[in-house]
Amino acid sequence: MKKIIILSLLACIMVLPVYAGKYAGDFMMIGAGVRALGMGGAFASLADDGSAIYWNSGGLSQIRDSEVSAMHAFLYKNLASYDHLSYVQPLPNDVSIAFNITSLTVSDIPRFDERYLIGTNVDERINNIANHLPGIPDGTFRSTDNLYQFAFSKNIKFGANMGWQFFEVPFELGLGGNVKFIQRKIMDNLGTGTGFDLGLKLRTDLAVIFDEESLGDLHFGMNFQDVAGTTISWDTNSEMKDEVLFNTKVGVAVEQPIPNLKSTVILAYDYDYIYNGTSHYGLDWGYDDRANLRLGYYDTNLSCGASLKVYGVFLDYALITNPIGISNRLGLRVRF
């Protein structure tokens, strides 16, 4: 059964080079970070930690502390390991830069050598026991997918005159972009490609708009992935090329403080336009900037998560369901 799962995983998720086409970048759709997946991937409008380099680089410039974050997860019933490491560095003039490495690895994949069957026909393979497949692997190999990203983001603060009551509505607009280098390796074959993402994040104060002090912030985000077209070129004899599809993420979130309970509640919604569209729903409840609980839902999958702040270090956990099995994510964030 394990072999069947592995082979299915390779066929549907890893996309072997012989299957060129629209699923070439699917490993990049898994998503980075822990908090975001705990909220069902509804994170394009928030994008307020190091994983923003994936979800929306426009949010990076609204992070005004240096941050190092790391994530580790076992996926698909522990058949694959998934890791994410990022660093955000704020600069003067409301500018931030960030670096990210994301890696997906499947190890110990059974390899069956059928070269000895070359030149035989169907009857020979049926009638000659020497030509029957023994069902015993001739060895194993591993498949790795690596994503390297560098991002730049600028935050712009301005007031918009809405023409009523003689006041301006304050806005923060984050504009960002990242360049990414993709490296995929299966056995002895290597595929590489370069792509670009563009993002924007807009934040405003609902208390000013509605003249009600108790209201919180409204967040809006858009992320355009692989805007210039991304092609993965393989070093095979056929020089095969895979195309990574363009995707647009759109998100909106409301962040509402509840002072009497020392709490903040966030409701978020995202929509991915790729593959006929997917909706993402997320809920985050934070207590006294010390702990958080989360729920999420997307594409019939449920997720939940939690964070704990200990001496300025954030410990994150998320549990995500999917048709292959439950996966767990562990994360660490340090701001300084």
Q: What tokens does 326 get?
A: 């439950």
In a domain, 158, yes or no: yes
SS3 content of the chain, % helix, strand, coil (to 5): 15, 55, 30
Length reported for the chain: 336
CB 233 within 8 A of CB 241: yes
CA–CA distances in Å: residue 67 to residues 102, 168, 176, 190, 212 = 16, 33, 17, 32, 33
Place of tokens 């908090």: 35
pLDDT at 166: 60
Query: CA-to-CA distance for 182 and 188, rounded, in angstroms?
Result: 17
In a domain, 82, yes or no: yes
pLDDT at 219: 97
pLDDT at 24: 58
Query: pLDDT by residue for the chain (336 residues), tens digit each?
Result: 444 433 443 333 333 333 334 455 677 778 888 999 999 999 999 999 999 999 999 999 999 899 999 999 888 777 888 999 999 999 999 999 999 999 998 887 887 777 777 777 777 777 777 777 777 777 788 889 999 999 999 999 988 776 655 678 889 999 999 999 999 998 888 999 999 999 999 999 998 888 888 999 999 999 999 998 888 888 888 878 888 888 999 999 999 999 999 999 999 999 999 888 899 999 999 999 899 999 999 988 999 999 999 988 999 999 998 877 788 999 999 999
Q: How many angstroms from the chain centroid is the CA of residue 127?
A: 50
In a domain, 331, yes or no: yes
- The CATH number of the domain holding residue 254 is 2.40.160.40
In a domain, 68, yes or no: yes
In a domain, 321, yes or no: yes
CB 230 within 8 A of CB 193: yes
pLDDT at 160: 76
- Based on the structure, what is the number of domains in the chain? 1
Per DSSP (E only), the strands in 51-138 are 67-75, 80-91, 95-111
pLDDT at 141: 82
pLDDT at 117: 73
In a domain, 40, yes or no: yes
3-state class (DSSP) for residue 162: coil
pLDDT at 327: 87
Query: CA-to-CA distance for 25 and 13, rounded, in angstroms?
Result: 9
CB 36 within 8 A of CB 43: yes
What is the extent of the structural domain holding 178? Answer: 26-109+143-335
pLDDT at 244: 86
In a domain, 175, yes or no: yes
In a domain, 215, yes or no: yes
